[in-house]
Amino acid sequence: MRIGLTGTPGVGKTTVASILSEHFTIIDLVELAEERGFLGPTSAEFEAREVDIEALSSALAHEWNGPPEKITIIEGHLSHYLPCDMVIVLRCEPKTLRSRLSKRNYPDWKITDNVEWELMGGPWNESDSSGTPWIEFDTTDEIASKISDRIIKTIERGAKGTESSSVLDWAEEFGDL
Ligand code: ADP
Ligand code: MG
């Protein structure tokens, strides 16, 4: 099984992935893109190197036609575009996210862009109807080790995707950020 671990920057993907690495193979999506030649030059707009996610995803669709040796988690905020068997979406209440991102060396506009993206639903905006289960976890008030325990249980037992009616909605906080 391959699992995409996604979420707006700052929600805690890398932190959770490092704990999960005791149990599963973890792949960093940016490293994977670089290895396969799908990482572009630094974009002036985003001040980051851009992943050609569609090309990477099609390349992997051929390569990943059988299961991996060990359960594999691909970590990165675009991992929900990859041909995975399950998508884990981490979420974080926008004000808390802002405070987490403020510890990064990001310009203000980049922090605001990410906080707004999360406010609007984050990766859920990019979900398709492929039938792959998408399962959401809220990282706002729970420590990373607890979240990783819950992810392990979900992977071991299997789970239905989060119903759209229970997907976290921070929209009430709009204007309050
Ligand atoms: P991402 O990889 O999604 O961008 P990180 O794992 O780098 O996020 O975490 C962003 C920041 O939030 C870090 O400072 C990290 O220590 C903190 N953090 C991560 N997970 C949690 C959590 N569950 N509770 C509180 N703080 C967290
Ligand atoms: Mg990260």
Cβ count near 37 (within 10 Å): 11
* Residue 120, both tokens: 């609007």
- Cα dihedral sign for 56, 119, 125, 85? positive
Ligand nearest to the CA of 93: 1
CA of 152 to the centre of ligand 1 (A): 18
Q: What is the residue extent of each domain of the chain?
A: 2-164
Q: What is the pLDDT of residue 177?
A: 62
Place of tokens 């325990």: 149
Per-chain mean pLDDT for the chain: 94
Distance CA 34, CA 40 (A): 8
pTM for the predicted model, two decimal places: 0.96
Cα gap 83→131, rounded to integer Å: 12
Q: What six digits make up the tokens of 127?
A: 């979900």
Distance 102 CA to ligand 2 centre (A): 14
As a whole number, mean pLDDT of residues 2-21 equals 98
pLDDT digits (tens, 9 = 90+) for 119-161: 999 999 999 888 899 999 999 999 999 999 999 999 999 888 9
Cross-strand bridge partners of residue 137: 90
Homologous superfamily (CATH) for 2-164:
P-loop containing nucleotide triphosphate hydrolases (3.40.50.300)
Q: Which ligand lies nearest to the CA atom of residue 30 in the structure?
A: 2
